[in-house]
């Protein structure tokens, strides 16, 4: 028992000594390697050619698009790799990972930035999510985990039946294209996890392209990753289209009420109109104040016109029902003016014969058919126009 304990202690002390020696050797090796290293000089400047930066992005999560601010957020692993002949590892080491911030600050890195960035941060829990790995051949892998909020120019003419294209623009801040050349990694430049979900949107596809930007300070190499997104219409169908259809349908109930039922018909018309106005205000609050007409504006505007027309129709019917006849009027057959039940409801008094009651009842009867037909035709035109296009 005493011998086993002694052996364990000796092995532990030996492993600690070897570990300390390895750490000391690695630190000494890095210090010697960086002794004549110039951080301000690109790796291939002495050879007169730009350093090729291979970029690969893994989209960890995709935040929802903010229509009011025209931006979107992503959580991404940005991986950049290049060859630096000054960092060729001597000896048997296959690779070295740099985690010390002081040492990392002494190594050359591309000054990559996001051209359409609004806000961003590097994850630091439980330690800075930054990896700088040097391989034996001098190849370097520089990886970091970022959360980015990027601007995206959106087009809302077909909202909420729209599709958007949002991009990530990557370029160099100070190094022109004769010093740094960006290009996408040949194998899977953009990687996505299986089952990636985006709130209110479907990801139709993505593309990765190389770009070039010309400024007064020079020409800069860059990359562009574009994501094609289609808005999911289920939420808006349940929260906007179905309620407005019901509101418009409720406004038609007034056509079956008595022309003299002023409180009921006026209350019904005004209530439905105010409800549509409130609903439209809530929709506008979630969108930027663009100057062009959107698909939702066409829908809400037509629904308001239908409800307002029903209110105007009641005003005309009530006026005709109570207006006295002062001169001859074009006669129409009684069978066309109103059904038998409605003719019976009109008292055959001298007062009734001296008003346009039958014409008022005829307008009510025609409105019961015309309003639904017009709204149905509008629905067919609207959905064919925006869905097919």
Q: What is the mean pLDDT of residues 44-48?
A: 86
Segment 305-321, tens digit of pLDDT: 999 999 999 989 888 88
pLDDT of residue 5: 46
Q: Residue 9 pLDDT more than 70? A: no
Q: What is the mean pLDDT of residues 349-363?
A: 69
pLDDT of residue 351: 46
Segment 138-170, tens digit of pLDDT: 899 999 999 999 999 999 999 999 999 999 999
pLDDT of residue 2: 52
Count, residues in the chain: 389
**Topology match between the domains 39-232 and 235-388:** no
Segment 209-254, tens digit of pLDDT: 999 988 898 999 999 999 999 999 888 999 999 999 999 999 999 9
pLDDT of residue 348: 47
pLDDT of residue 16: 42
Q: Residue 347 pLDDT more than 70? A: no
CATH architecture group of domain 39-232: Distorted Sandwich (2.70)
**pTM, whole model, 2 decimals?**
0.77
Confidence band (pLDDT; 50, 70, 90) for 128? Answer: confident
pLDDT of residue 226: 95
SS3 of the chain: the string is CHHHHHHHHHHHHHHHHHHHHHHHHHHHHHHHHCCCCCCCCCCCCCCCCCEEEEEEEEEEEECCCECCCCEEEEEEEEEEEEECHHHCCCCCCCEEEECCHHHHCCCCCCCEEECCEEEEEECCCCCCCEEEEEECCCEEEEEEEEEEEEECCCCCCCCCCCEEEEEEEEEECCCCCCCEEEEECCCCCEECCCCCCECCEEEEEEEEEEEEEEECCEEEEEEEEEEEEEECCHHHHHHHHHHHHHHHHHHHHHHHCCCCCHHHHHHHHHHHHHHHHHHHHHHHHCCCCCCCCCHHHHHHHHHHHHHHHHHHHHHHHHHHHHCECCCCCCCCCHHHHCCHHHHHHCCCCHHHHCECHHHHHHHHHHHHHHHHHHHHHHHHHHHHHHHHC
Segment 320-344, tens digit of pLDDT: 888 766 554 445 455 544 555 554 5
CATH architecture group of domain 235-388: Up-down Bundle (1.20)
Q: Residue 91 pLDDT more than 80? A: no
Spell out the domain ranges in the chain.
Answer: 39-232, 235-388
């Amino acid at each position: 028992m005493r011998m086993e304990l002694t052996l364990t202690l000796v092995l532990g002390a030996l492993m600690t000594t070897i570990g300390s020696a390895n750490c000391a050797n690695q630190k000494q090796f890095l210090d010697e390697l960086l002794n004549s290293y110039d951080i301000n000089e690109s790796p291939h400047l002495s050879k007169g050619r730009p350093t090729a930066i291979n970029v690969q992005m893994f989209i960890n999560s995709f935040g929802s698009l903010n229509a009011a601010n025209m931006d979107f957020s992503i959580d991404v692993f940005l991986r950049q790799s290049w060859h630096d002949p000054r960092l060729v590892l001597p000896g048997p080491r296959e690779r070295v990972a740099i985690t010390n911030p002081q040492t990392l600050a002494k190594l050359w890195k591309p000054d990559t930035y996001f051209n359409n960035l609004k806000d961003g941060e590097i994850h630091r829990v439980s330690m800075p999510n930054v990896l700088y790995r040097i391989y034996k051949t001098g190849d370097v892998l520089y990886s970091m985990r970022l959360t980015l909020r990027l601007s995206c120019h959106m087009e809302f003419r077909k909202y909420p039946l729209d599709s958007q294209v949002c991009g990530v623009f990557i370029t160099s801040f100070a190094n022109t294209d004769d010093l740094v050349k960006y290009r996408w990694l040949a194998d899977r430049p953009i990687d996505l996890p299986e089952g990636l979900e985006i709130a209110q949107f479907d990801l139709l596809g993505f593309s990765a392209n190389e770009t070039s930007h010309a400024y007064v300070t020079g020409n800069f190499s860059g990359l562009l990753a574009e994501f094609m997104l289609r808005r999911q219409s289920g939420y808006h169908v349940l929260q906007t289209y179905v309620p407005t259809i019901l509101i418009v349908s409720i406004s038609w109930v007034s056509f079956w009420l008595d022309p003299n039922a002023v409180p009921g018909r006026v209350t019904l018309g005004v209530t439905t109109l105010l409800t549509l106005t409130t609903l439209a205000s809530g929709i506008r609050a979630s969108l930027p104040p663009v100057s062009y007409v959107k698909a939702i504006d066409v829908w809400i505007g037509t629904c308001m016109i239908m409800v307002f027309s029903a209110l105007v129709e009641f005003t005309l019917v009530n006026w005709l029902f109570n207006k006295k006849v002062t001169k001859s009027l074009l006669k129409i057959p009684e069978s066309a003016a109103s059904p038998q039940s409605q003719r019976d409801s009109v008292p055959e008094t001298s007062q009734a014969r001296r008003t346009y009651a039958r014409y008022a009842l005829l307008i009510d009867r025609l409105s019961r058919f015309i309003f639904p037909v017009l709204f149905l035709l509008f629905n067919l035109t609207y959905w064919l126009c925006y869905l097919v296009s």
